[in-house]
Structure 1
Amino acid sequence: MPADDSHFGESWALSPDSRRPLPELIEQKLREQIIGGTLKAGDRLPTEPDLARKLDVARSSLRTALQRLQLQGIVEVRRGLGWYVRRTDLAAVEEHLEGRLAARQFNHTDLLEVRLALETTAASLAAVRAGDGELDELAKHNQRYQRAEVEDVQEVIEADEEFHSALIRAAHNELLEQMYQALVPGLQDCKRHAHPSREVHNRSANEHEQIIWFLRRHDEVGAKSAMTTHLLGLYDDLTGDDTKPRASLSTYVGVHDEPMWDRRR
């Protein structure tokens, strides 16, 4: 059931704290609503636009907070229905494996290397599983990304996240999607520190288009290779000063020793 809006109001105001990222403040506020009984197990949260308006925050920051709570098992998203409160026993959350994962801070290089593994696999799966509507949605998200002004960092991050999240969903693998969502908060932090140039932004948009081109042709090897090239470019841009041994194209791409997905089954 939907949460009762009559209980909303001043209680949704965020406590200003310039030392903490906005998604953390939103997460804290949502936790307070659950602890205080305003939100109960099974309640449907207001829609993202309504909730962002109540909190006076951007939807991208709200979504990051919701994803953090989702990883902790506190809320869940039901496709086509919205966000719901899943559990209210927050004292037990720290014992929850996903909760510990959400609270952990990972090195940017580690995040991007795991992202490579997940998203290249998702691209090959999407090439054989995605429907035309899902591919059209990907194209629409990339158009938004192309139109975004580089100076508007939040818009660039949100548009890029929507593209990559849509591709993950198009793979139709629930576990892969959950694993990817665990990375999203860290990846957003990565992008905020990157400050890409217009040249990098245009290159990324063109690479998105190439990925879609292979997906529409159900070419799983081409889609995976295009995604690998795209993510390794970002990997180089974001981790240029890292001291670890670094990945290169040959490290990840090998047509003959990668799993293939049989469309006939």
Structure 2
Amino acid sequence: MPVDDSHPGESWSLSPDSRRPLPELIEQKLREQIIGGTLKAGDRLPTEPELARKLDVARSSLRTALQRLQLQGIVEVRRGLGWYVRRTDLAAVEENLEDRLAARRFSHTDLLEVRIALEATAASLAAVRAGDGELDELAKLNRRYQRAPVDDPQEVIEADEEFHSALVRASHNELLESMYQALVPGLQDCKRHAHTSREVHNRSVNEHDQVVWFLRRHDEVGAKSAMTTHLLGLYNDLAADDAKPRATLDSFVAVSDNPIWNNTR
């Protein structure tokens, strides 16, 4: 069934909100189209180039939003045909893990500890599974992050999120990706604290480069260690006021030359 495009400017314009990442605004707009009946179950969405034009956004941001909706079971991609609305009963969708996580409001340290575990594993898997095209895309996304102006938090956060989401996708583990995307809304506040200075920004660029360097060499342990070290910087900043003992690199990566399970008595 074709999508009603009789009033494209009125129907598809995004709500201005500089405090939220662009993919989140796109996701909200697509949800509104479904709730309002413009898009119905079984409808095919416009092609990605056409939809990006209607929304006046980059295709990379649009794709991130569509993937988030896909993980929630709201839309699906049919190979060779495009994106389709899968379900419109969004009340049931609100019961998913992503929304429960957002409502529970876990502490920043709890969220980041889980994020480190997931992304460290994703980096290790990507070192084995990522293709050259995916690695080139990661390098390209890091260059976008490098060019993002520090005084534009939305652009910085969006560029950083695209890099990390692309790395998780490169793990080729759908369950891991779903779990990671469920954390993303709760991580937004963490990310707003992360990119507050040029020094932190430049450090992140270099750490992203290190991750890609290890990935290109198919070094699983190196990629895992580099990603863990990168995320621990933010973790240590935000965990300063937490009463619990902090996690360290050893909590996520086995760095000992003589692990305890090798000891014999």
TM above 0.5, one fold? yes
Is the CA contact 1:7–1:38 (under 8 Å) kept in the aligned structure 2? no
Indicate the residue corresponding to 2:196 in structure 1.
196
Moved more, 106-115 or 17-26: 17-26
Moved more, 181-190 or 58-67: 58-67
Structure 2 residue 203 is the aligned partner of structure 1 residue 240: no
Task: Write the letter of the residue equivalent to 1:161.
Answer: E
Indicate the residue corresponding to 2:158 in structure 1.
158
Is the CA contact 1:138–1:166 (under 8 Å) kept in the aligned structure 2? yes
Is the CA contact 1:128–1:218 (under 8 Å) kept in the aligned structure 2? yes
Moved more, 214-223 or 35-44: 35-44
Q: 1:216 to 1:66 in 2, by over 3 A?
A: closer
Q: 1:105 to 1:62 in 2, by over 3 A?
A: farther
Is the CA contact 1:60–1:154 (under 8 Å) kept in the aligned structure 2? no
**TM-score normalized by structure 1?**
0.79
Is the CA contact 2:124–2:220 (under 8 Å) kept in the aligned structure 1? yes
Indicate the residue corresponding to 1:123 in structure 2.
123
Task: Write the letter of the residue equivalent to 2:171.
Answer: A
Is the CA contact 1:125–1:171 (under 8 Å) kept in the aligned structure 2? yes
For residues 109 and 17 of structure 2, the distance between their equivalents in structure 1, rounded to whole angstroms, comes to 28
Indicate the residue corresponding to 2:210 in structure 1.
210
- Offset of residue 8 of structure 1: 4.0
Is the partner of 1:6 in helix, strand or coil?
Answer: coil
Aligned-residue Cα RMSD (Å) equals 3.4
Q: 1:201 to 1:120 in 2, by over 3 A?
A: same
- Offset of residue 239 of structure 1: 3.3
Moved more, 27-36 or 160-169: 27-36
- Offset of residue 66 of structure 1: 5.1
For residues 100 and 219 of structure 1, the distance between their equivalents in structure 2, rounded to whole angstroms, comes to 36
Structure 2 residue 181 is the aligned partner of structure 1 residue 171: no
Task: Write the letter of the residue equivalent to 2:4.
Answer: D
Structure 1, residues 216-262: CA drift from partner, whole Å, max 9, x if none?
A: 111111111111111111212333333332111222221577xxxxx
- Structure 2: gaps spanning 5 or more residues: 260-265
- Offset of residue 101 of structure 1: 4.2
- Offset of residue 41 of structure 1: 1.4
- Offset of residue 58 of structure 1: 8.3
Task: Write the letter of the residue equivalent to 2:126.
Answer: A
For residues 10 and 44 of structure 1, the distance between their equivalents in structure 2, rounded to whole angstroms, comes to 20
Is the CA contact 1:71–1:98 (under 8 Å) kept in the aligned structure 2? no
Is the CA contact 2:21–2:155 (under 8 Å) kept in the aligned structure 1? no
- Structure 1: gaps spanning 5 or more residues: 258-265
**TM-score normalized by structure 2?**
0.79
- Offset of residue 64 of structure 1: 7.2
Is the CA contact 1:2–1:43 (under 8 Å) kept in the aligned structure 2? yes
Structure 1, residues 200-231: CA drift from partner, whole Å, max 9, x if none?
A: 11111111111111111111111111111111
Alignment length (residue pairs): 257
Task: Write the letter of the residue equivalent to 1:175.
Answer: L
- Offset of residue 30 of structure 1: 3.4
- Offset of residue 148 of structure 1: 1.6
Moved more, 228-237 or 54-63: 54-63
Is the partner of 2:6 in helix, strand or coil?
Answer: helix
Q: 1:216 to 1:80 in 2, by over 3 A?
A: farther
Structure 1, residues 50-74: CA drift from partner, whole Å, max 9, x if none?
A: 5566557788987776566445422
Is the partner of 1:84 in helix, strand or coil?
Answer: strand
Structure 1, residues 11-66: CA drift from partner, whole Å, max 9, x if none?
A: 44567899999877765553342233210113233456755665577889877765
Report matched runs for 1:13-32 at 5 Å: 29-32=29-32
